């Protein structure tokens, strides 16, 4: 279960944190945090772009949104920081198509790893 949270200081954030601990997650704006295995926090930006139009520049901007949001949550919540200290973090960009979502790319070190680039126009393939 993923719960929508409007504010890190709200009671709803505490419910989202509880969901995260239980294998679900929370969504703050365009960023989802899930922890399905209690070892890795998946911090995903929901892109505003069609996957076929996402190039490296757009992907990096979306990944930066995820990274910045994660850092802000860690700075604002001792409880989240305590939970997160035992987990690794995986940053990715996802596309929400209404009935579900698919990963577009993820960050490994400083490199973007594309999930599937077959549908991308030739001018955007790297």
| pLDDT in single tens digits along all 126 residues of the chain | 899 999 888 899 999 999 999 999 999 999 999 999 989 999 999 999 999 999 999 999 999 999 999 999 999 999 999 999 999 999 999 999 888 889 999 999 999 999 975 544 444 444
Domains contained in the chain, number? 1
Total Cβ atoms within 10 A of residue 73: 23
Instruction: Look up the pTM and report it.
Output: 0.87
Cα separation, 54 vs 60, whole angstroms = 10
Can you give the residue range of the structural domain that contains 42? 2-124
């Amino acid at each position: 279960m993923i719960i929508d949270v409007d504010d890190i200081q709200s009671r709803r954030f505490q419910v989202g944190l509880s969901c995260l601990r239980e294998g679900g997650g929370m969504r703050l704006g365009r960023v989802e945090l899930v922890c399905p295995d209690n070892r890795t926090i998946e911090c995903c930006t929901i892109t505003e772009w069609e996957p076929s139009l996402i190039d490296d520049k757009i992907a990096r901007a979306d990944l930066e949104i995820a990274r910045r949001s994660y850092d802000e949550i860690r700075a604002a919540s001792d409880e989240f920081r305590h939970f997160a200290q035992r987990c690794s973090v995986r940053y990715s960009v996802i596309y929400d198509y209404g009935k579900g979502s698919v990963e577009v790319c993820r960050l490994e070190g400083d490199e973007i790893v594309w999930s599937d680039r077959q549908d991308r126009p030739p001018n955007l393939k790297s």
